[in-house]
Amino acid sequence: KMGPDYSRPSTNGTSKTLFTLWAGVVYLGLLLEEKPELKRVLEQRRLELHKEAEMAQRQPSDLEMELRKRQQKLQEQEEIRRRENQQKIPEFVRVKDNLRRTQTFEQ
């Protein structure tokens, strides 16, 4: 069984005001059937959501897993380099920088 037909108002008990309102909606082309671009956009959005859901459910490929491992390794190496550079800075400079940050937070 199909849903209600919105292209015509039902004739049982339809008031003249409701019929006039319906006629105005049809005239302005606000019904979904009269707006093919709206249908297209809604369908495109539905397909995008479906594709995103499928991507979230599937297992990552070997390439994706390798790329993630590589990215994580690079981030870890960058963190190690940053710490080493921080240790090379004399302690009085680090304390001075920390004091500056503390003073700006207090203001």
Residue 38's Cβ-count burial label (10 Å; 0-12, 13-18, 19+) is middle
Q: How sure is the predictor about 1, in pLDDT bands with cuts at 50, 70 and 90?
A: very low
The residue that leads in pLDDT, 7 or 18, is: 18
As given in the structure block, the two tokens for residue 20 are 């006039």
Which of the residue ranges 35-39, 51-55, 97-101, 103-107 has the most confident prediction, judged by mean pLDDT?
51-55
The residue that leads in pLDDT, 28 or 23, is: 23
pTM beyond 0.85, yes or no: no
